[in-house]
Structure 1
């Protein structure tokens, strides 16, 4: 049972992290490490019981992983085409297509390394696999914990409901994505009202360069047209980023009621990153995600993950340098030996 001690320690640290502050990316990593250490321990235990079985299982898992990469690459390429057809060819809409092409290039590089049997190609392919494996591990951790975060029971008391903006159609019309957030905000407001509160609903979003009016004004108009009380709507019309959404909304909340709590509403793909940002800014509120169109979700989730990679760029740059230096060291050391290729 000692094999499972690392997994158990990571799980205890994960549980403590969730209890202390669930809006942390470290919780996602600890959950991922719990699963990885448990899987490694199970393989080692199988090997001790039946010699050779753990090797066969590991080879089988690698085969499944290879097939999964091929399927994922095809899915992302198809999703990228769908995004271009339905949402246009903006850089943000090309994310899933770009990741699909990257995975395809990685597969081609691995096949070339196996076929050509050259040391340089083997080292490059090995370094690429390690880097992609690191990013894939973080992405899976992010994906599963982001889903878990929205299902964890947490206090959803609030003096305010804050809705984050997301852009307008034609410069003044609320698009379906933003309408979904506003409908979710109405549900949260109704739930809080049933508990005897009268929370203020803050619509947050400034005016973009191609918009005729601030997003918050269009959002407020959407709510008022559907019978929402005008005295319970407040507009935050200066923000252009998630960080500004939360910073300026927090100023409005503190002006009305210091040390207030809130429920923040955004799209489901954006909920966990918004929660991390809220924690960093000291906003006392958890995040609720509104439904998103299925075709839009893969590309949006990847964009959120990339944004987190950029936010933690120092750590990720350090890992990149370690992998590159490790590859150069192996090349200098003469590995893999030419006669073994």
Structure 2
């Protein structure tokens, strides 16, 4: 009976997987990847529940509770870092549960998934850090070649050099340092481990936030500005933000015949001839957007001001606060922009424009550093605790060795 059910579930899944792209092609928003992932997850959850029912147990309720907690917090407020932590807690509990279920059932599908997962984890443990180093050095060379030698473009290179120095020193530290000093040196790897967890949670929620699917009922689309080339020309990175807004503008126009206003947000920098929003408006007009559909905000100097000043313009234009709005930016900047929207009390989520793959590692590192600085007090407290703990252990080791 179990094998027949597995075959039936497999057939149902394959039928759905083939039908989803066809179904999405008939929609205004033709993206199908999110729905493929959702369909696989639903089929797999249903299959796991069936296995539990066969055993007359209900342990699946434990990971389900973590999943529901994440979904409740996420849909209540998508723009929170804690959502990444909640999702990763669900993954840890879920993977543990599936491992126990595999031992109890010896199910072939679970065996295949466990084998794939085990192979990936083994490779990560075996060569993960060294592969990361090679990737970081390669990425740094590409970024410096294509984007220039600014400090912001050096982040992957600096991280690669830092990790290289750490690995070399960590290899020799036990040979050249006394025991108490080696314990004290543990401050660095523990702090790195803490920040790697923080980064993983940030990356998790940043990726999940990319799947935001706004309804076609928007009154405004805010396009967040960035620097101009020669103080007057829209660069490709900013152009993608504008084109993302235009894409949604046209999609909503086809779906509802009620096009939103596009609000270009960006002031004039010290090295710019015109306000960014003016150049952005001209760019959109050249792409076929009517001038009357475009608003401009010309005073902001950063993302938080983008949100605050845009909110004021939307309230004046709409004649109240009961409007629907979203913002567009590049995908790596999407989640942090959402945090700024929340800080500005603007009820808006974002959609991200695609960015060249080579630029993403450096860009996400920059975003992570900015988010760490937004919560620096919390991180200083944790790092201070780690430092104090290791100092006490080093002192204990020093006096115990001296005493002996």
Q: 1:335 to 1:70 in 2, by over 3 A?
A: farther
Instruction: Indicate which of 156, 172, 181 corresponds to 1:96.
Output: 156
Identify the residue that residue 77 of structure 2 maps to in structure 1. 21
The one of 292, 315, 330 aligned to 1:254? 315
Q: Would the alpha carbon gap of residues 335 and 253 (structure 1) be closer, same or farther in structure 2, given more than 3 Å must change?
A: farther
Task: Output the CA distance in 2 between the equivalents of 1:44 and 1:315.
Answer: 36
Query: Within 5 A, what are the aligned runs for 1:31-42?
Result: 31-37=87-93
Q: Aligned in 2, Cα 1:229/1:46: closer, same or farther, shift over 3 Å?
A: closer
Tell me whether 1:171 sits opposite 2:234 in the alignment.
no
Residues 232-290 of structure 1 deviation map (CA, whole Å, 9 limit, x = unaligned): 11111111111011111111000011221112000000011111211222112110000
Compute the displacement of 1:113 (Å).
2.5
Query: Where does residue 65 of structure 1 map in the other structure?
Result: 125
* Whole-Å separation in 2 of the counterparts to 1:335 and 1:158: 65
Instruction: Give the conservation status (yes or no) of the 8 Å contact 2:212–2:350.
Output: no
- Residues of 2 paired with 1:160 and 1:188: CA distance? 11
Matched ranges for 1:300-311 at <5 A: 300-311=363-374
Corresponding residue for residue 272 of structure 2: 211
Structure number, greater radius of gyration: 2
Report the Cα distance in structure 2 between the residues aligned to 1:262 and 1:337, rounded to whole angstroms: 64
- Work out whether 1:263 is the aligned partner of 2:326: yes
| Cα gap change, 1:294 to 1:42, in 2 (>3 Å) | same
2:72 aligned counterpart, secondary structure: helix
Equivalent position of 1:144 in the other structure: 204
Aligned-partner Cα distance in 1 for 2:249–2:291:
14
Q: How much does 1:8 deviate? A: 5.9
Moved more, 178-187 or 132-141: 132-141
Distance in 1, matches of 2:287 and 2:216, equals 24
Structure 2, gaps ≥5 residues long? 1-56, 104-116
Question: 1:309 deviation in Å?
Answer: 0.7
Shift of 1:41: 7.2
Residue 245 (structure 1) aligns with = 306
Aligned with 2:380 (options 298, 317, 327): 317
Q: Secondary structure at the match of 2:299?
A: coil
Q: For residue 209 of structure 1, give the secondary structure of its aligned residue in structure 2.
A: coil
TM-score, with normalisation over the residues of structure 1?
Answer: 0.87
Query: Structure 1 residue 228: deviation in Å?
Result: 1.2
Distance 1:323 1:136, change over 3 A: same
Q: 1:78: how far off?
A: 2.2
In 1, Cα distance between equivalents of 2:309 and 2:282: 20
Three-state SS of the structure 2 residue aligned to 1:161 is strand
Aligned residue-pair number: 329
More RCO (CA 8 Å, sep 6+): 1
Q: How far off is 1:81 after superposition?
A: 2.3
Aligned mate of 1:86, from 140, 143, 146: 146
Q: Distance in 2 between matches of 1:26 and 1:10?
A: 13
Distance 1:42 1:188, change over 3 A: closer
| Cα deviations by residue, 1:30-66 (Å, 9 ceiling, x for unpaired) | 112333455577789999xxxxxxxxx99x9588336
Mapping of residues 153-232 of structure 1, within 5 Å: 153-155=213-215, 157-194=217-254, 195-232=256-293
Q: CA deviation at 1:14?
A: 1.5
Correspondence for 1:54: none
Residue pair 2:180, 2:398 contacting (<8 A) in 1 also: no
Residues 92-127 of structure 1: CA deviation (Å, up to 9, x unaligned): 111111111222122123212244363244224422
Larger mean CA deviation between 292-301 and 99-108 belongs to 99-108
TM-aligned CA distance change 1:192 to 1:44, over 3 Å? closer
Residue 344 of structure 2 corresponds to residue 281 of structure 1 = yes
